[in-house]
Structure 1
C-alpha cells in the first residue's frame, strides 16, 4: 500500500500538522540574540555589575600619569621623603667637612662628589621601588622648553644682577694661570655644572622630592594644594642648597627661586622630568659660555 500522506487532497496541509520551517533571516538571528541578552540581564541579581562579552568584569583603566595616583606612586610616601632628606643632609655634612681634611682642589672635588651622592642615592632608591607613570617619558617639545625657558631665566638673572649692582656688570670669568684656564676646567667648570649637577639636582628636587610631596599631599588635600606645596617646598630647599657655595645676594636668591618654580611647574604641567632637566642645563650652560667668553676676552 502506498504510504499515508499528511497532506489533504489538493496538496493543502492536513489539519493539525506543524507548518514547515522557512529560512532564518539575519534580522531574526539578531532579534534572538537581543532577546537572550535581555533575558540574562533580567535574571541577573539587582546591583550586579554588567559583564563583558567574555563574561568577566573589565579591568579598571590605569591612570594616565603619576599625578593621578595609581600603583606607580603607591609606595612613594612619608618614609621615602624622610630617607631622601636624611641622605641629602648626610651629603651636605660630608661636603662641608671634607675640605678641612683634604685641602686644595682635590678636597673641593671630593666634597662635590659627596653632595652628589647624597642626592643620587635617594633617586636610585626611589626609582628602584617604582617609576612614576610617564615621568621619564621624553618628547621633542621638552627640548624647546629647555632652550626657551633656560635662556629666558638666564636673561632674567642678568637683569637682576644689574639691578643689584646699580648698573651694567662685566662678563663673569674664570681664574687663569699664566693667561690659561686650569687643566681641570673641563670637568670642574664645564662638565660638572652643565651636565652632572643639573641632572642629579633635577632628579632629586623635582624627580623625587616634588613627586613624593605632591603625592602625599594630594591624598589628603587634593591636587591644587599639593601642586602649590610641592613647588614651594622644593624651591625653598633648592635655594637653600645653593647657599652651600657661599652667601647669596638677593638677586641670586630670586634667580634660583625662579629656576625652582619654573622647573617645578614644568614637571607638574607636562608630567615629565626632562623639560626641567634641559631648562637647568641651558641655564647653567649659558653662564659657562659667558664666563668662558669673559675669560678669553679679558
Structure 2
C-alpha cells in the first residue's frame, strides 16, 4: 500500500498540473490494443520461461486460506490496483514527462526512444526492488514496460496500456488458479 501511495502521489500532482490532450480519452480500439498486447506478452512470458517444459504456477498461501481471503490479499491488488497505478506512474508521468522534456531538443523519435527505455527500465527496477529477478524475468518485465510504453506512444492514450497490463496480470492469476487446482 505504501509503495502504491508513493507512486500515486506523483500521478495526481502531474495530472493536475498538465497532461497531453487525449491521454485519458477512451476509444474502442484501446480494448483491442489491451487484449492483443496483454495476450502477446503472456505468450512471450510462457516462451521465455519454458512453459512447455515446466508445471503451472500456483497461488501463494494466503493469511486467510479461503478463496475470498486470497482474492482480497492477492487477486484484486495484482489484477486491478497494480496495473492502474503502475501504468499511470510509468507511462503517464515518466514516459510523457521524459518525452516532453526531450522532444524539442533531440526530436520526436529520439525523445520517444529515450522515454520508452526510461519508463521500461524503471518498471524493471520497481519489480526488482523486492526480490531478485532472473534474466528471463528481467527481460519479461522490460518487454511489458516497453510494450505498454509503445501503446501509449502510438495511440496517445493510456487505457490500452492499462488494459494490456491488466490482461497480463489476470492471465497469470488464471494460470496460477489452474496450477493450484491441478496440484
Give the TM-score normalised by the residue count of structure 1: 0.58
Contiguous gaps of at least 5 residues in structure 1: 1-112
Whether 1:123 and 2:8 are equivalent positions in the alignment is no
1:140 is aligned to 2:25: no
C-alpha distance in 1 between matches for 2:60 and 2:153: 39
Deviations 1:225-272 (A, max 9, x none): 100100011111110110123111111011111111111111011000
Gaps of 5+ in 2: none
Q: How many residues in Structure 1 have an aligned counterpart in Structure 2?
A: 181
Q: Is the 8 A contact 1:145 1:275 kept in 2?
A: yes
Q: CA deviation at 1:184?
A: 2.6
Match of 1:114 in 2: 2
Provide the residue aligned with 1:206 in structure 2.
91
The TM-score, its normalising length taken from structure 2, stands at 0.94
- Between the aligned partners of 2:153 and 2:19, the Cα distance in structure 1 is 16
For the residues of structure 2 that align with 1:176 and 1:224, how far apart are their CA atoms?
46
Larger Rg: 1
Classify 1:209/1:148 alpha carbon distance in 2 versus 1 (closer, same or farther; 3 Å): same
Post-superposition Cα deviations, 1:127-186, rounded to whole Å, max 9, x if no partner, equal 1112320100111111111111101100110111118xxx61111111448xx5465311
Greater helix proportion:
2
RCO (CA 8 Å, sep 6+): is it higher in 1 or 2? 2
Structure 2 CA distance for aligned equivalents of residues 141 and 169 of structure 1: 35
Q: Which residue number in structure 1 is paired with residue 110 of structure 2?
A: 225
- 1:282 correspondence with 2:145: no
1:169 aligns with 2:57: no
Deviation per residue, 1:275-295 (Å, 9 max, x gap):
000000000000000001111
Q: CA RMSD in A?
A: 1.5
